[in-house]
Structures are given as C-alpha cells and as structure tokens.
Amino acid sequence: MDRCLYCDKVPRSEEHPLPAALGEFRDGPILLNRICKQCNERRIGILDEQLVRCGPIAVLRKRFDVQGRQHHEKVNPFYRGSAGGQRVKFMAWDDAFECEVLVELTGGDQGRQLTQLILKGASGPHHHIPLTPSTTLKSLLEQIRALQLVAPLEARLIYDPASEPWAADLFKKLWPNERLPQTTVGASGFKGGIVQFQTTNRYFRGVAKIGFHYFLTQFPEFSGHETVFDDLRDFIIDDAKELGPDRINRFIGIHQYPITPPSPNLVGHLLCAEINKGQFVAHFEPFVTPGGRMQAFQVRLGCDLAAQGPVLRSHLFSYFGGGKQGRFSGDAVRVDEQLSNSDVLQRGTVVAAFNDVASSKSNQT
C-alpha cells in the first residue's frame, strides 16, 4: 500500500527502528518506504528525541559515550530537556563545596559539576539553576522569582573562570552591587548520587514506535496498515491526546528480569519481535551492558488469532569496542535462528547465541 503508516502522503523515507541517536549499525534492519518524510522527521521523530535525551537512555548514552549521526544537534541532557521532557537532574554531594551540586557525566565513570547558580533562602533547601552561554538575565530572574526565596539570600556560583567568564558576567548583571562569590575547583570525585527523570507519554510512545517498526522489518508480510494495528498506530502518532497510565499500560509492559544475561565485553541493545498464539509482541532491551542495565520493555502490538506462531525474530545491536568504524557504531547480528522464544524471553540466552554467531563470522573471515 503506497501510503504512509500515519497519514495519507506517499511514503518515501528510510526508517531505522533503533533511533539513529543510538548509532548506526552495520547490517541493521531498515523499514523502507513505509513512512513519509514529514512523519519520519517530525511527527515520530519527536518521540525519539525525548526517548534518547530525557530519560535513563540519555544517562547511559553519556556513560558509554554513544554518538549519533554527525548532523544531529548536540544536546547535553543534564542542562536541558527535549521534546517536552525535562532535563536529567543528577545530584551528588560535593565535599569541597559542602553541599549537593548538579553533576553531569562526561564519559565512562567521569563526571563534573555543571556550571550552576546555587541559591538558599533564610530557611529551606539549596536550589540549583544550571547556566549555559544562552542563559539570559530575563530567564534567570524568572527562575529565581519562581523559587520565592526569603531573604537573606545565600548565593554560590560554580563555573570555570578561565573558560566561562560569561557566567561571572551574568552574576554581576543579576546583582551588580554584590561581590562575586569565591569559586573553588570543587571535588574531583563523587560518592553515590541521585538521578531524577521527568518524561511525558512521548517516551513510551517512542518505545512503542521502535517495537512496531522493528516488527514490520521482520515480518514483511504485514504492511502495518492492517486493522489489528489501528489502535497502536493511533497511540504512537496522536500527540494531542492526554494519555493516562491506563492507556500507556495497554501497550507497554516491563519485563521483571533482563532478557539477556550479563556479558563482560558486550554493550548494545536488543530488539525482538514475535507472533505467539495470535499475539503480536515486540521486546526492547536498551543498553545491554557488562554491569547493570535498564529494564526491558514489552510492546503489545495487536492480536489476530488466525496467526498462531510461534515465530521469533531478534537482533542484537552490539557496539564496536574501539569506537566508530566509519559511519558505523557497531554490528547488528541476528540471534534468533537457534533460539525459541521461551529461550530468549524466559531463560535469557541471547548473549550466548550472539557469541556463537560472532565467533562464526570471525572464523569465516
């Protein structure tokens, strides 16, 4: 059917089910000419934007220094949110400043204090306002007024005097008669910390979109226009509705346990699609890592009792150990040929299967 999945336009685009912000993977599945360019870049692109910049995936992207495509806008999720989601708020105790500070990850286990203004009124907690070169005096005053602090006011400015003189200039415009607070380097390490996320329904609709599009790449006998997918398409594309937990829970579930076991050398993502007893289901496990990982999502796509199954398709998107190779961040490897869905989704043997496939490819070359 020569019509976009989400509108009446002609579909002429190349859609990667795994968002490009997570990297481009060699031999990765592609959904070709099912979605028009406008829907791909805007209407559903905004879902990817929040998914990779505002929630746990944003933190792990920084932790593992994952780079998207070169032409994509670079956004630091610790300073600003995206697509209606809030910025990632990472608070840690700084022994040098003797208070909590906002922290950003800079790659691996390394972090640094954000450039920030810390305010405290006569009573109550410290309040932290991140500062960037684009922060205006007007926006800063609005944020301070919203805190409704009671005088006397205690203020601390954390910045690098050598590379961020604009932060001192902003402080002087804010309080021209006050002396600039003394700045120290701050702690070089942090113990623990608390990360806070605030996302909207776009985050979960983005997960649903990934699962749906991956399913269509693996079962090309379905166009995606079938009536069994009507509710799912509406859930993904309708940005006007206020979607409550009940509607989100209808399509998105959380696996109690990781689908894949830990692997000492593997960092990547897992996508599965299955037809089983008339149920069309996808599974997305972001950031399979040697240590902790995110919970895996289950996406309930629809039901057609005439399609019994069981049939399973699965790809493991594995990053190269030494960084990008040309435009590719890693390899996408099929891992379902020797697995049943009970193996993958109950016993968790995907990593072992991937190692077998990878070894076989290595021997062939």
Give dist(CA 137, CA 134) in Å, integer.
10
Closest CA to 156 of 166, 147, 167: 167
Pairing of strands 31-32, 252-254: unpaired
pLDDT band at 32 (very low <50, low <70, confident <90, very high): very high
Question: Which tens digits make up the pLDDT trace of 135-192?
Answer: 999 999 999 999 999 989 999 999 988 899 999 999 999 999 888 887 767 777 777 7
Residue 236 β-bridge partners: none
What is the pLDDT, as a whole number, of residue 364?
A: 47
Q: State how far Cα 293 lies from the chain centre.
A: 13
157-180: burial string, b at 16+ Cβ within 10 Å, e else: bbbeeeebeebeebbeeeeeeeee
pLDDT band at 353 (very low <50, low <70, confident <90, very high): low
Give dist(CA 80, CA 34) in Å, integer.
32
Residue 154 β-bridge partners: 120
Identify the residue whose tokens are 């790449």. 217
Question: Which tens digits make up the pLDDT trace of 317-330?
Answer: 999 988 899 999 99
Show Cβ contacts of residue 157 under 8 Å, excluding neighbours closer than 6 positions: 116, 117, 118, 167, 168, 171, 180, 181, 183
| Helix (H) / strand (E) containing 215 | helix 201-218
What is the pLDDT, as a whole number, of residue 362?
A: 46
Edge to edge, the sheet with strand 154-158 lists 127-130, 116-120, 154-158
Average pLDDT, the chain: 87
pLDDT band at 264 (very low <50, low <70, confident <90, very high): confident
Percent of the chain scoring above 70 in pLDDT: 89
For range 23-46, the mean pLDDT: 94
Question: Which tens digits make up the pLDDT trace of 282-305?
Answer: 999 999 888 767 889 999 999 998
Give dist(CA 230, CA 214) in Å, integer.
17
pLDDT band at 57 (very low <50, low <70, confident <90, very high): very high
CB atoms within 10 A of CB 253: 15
Report if pTM > 0.85.
Answer: yes
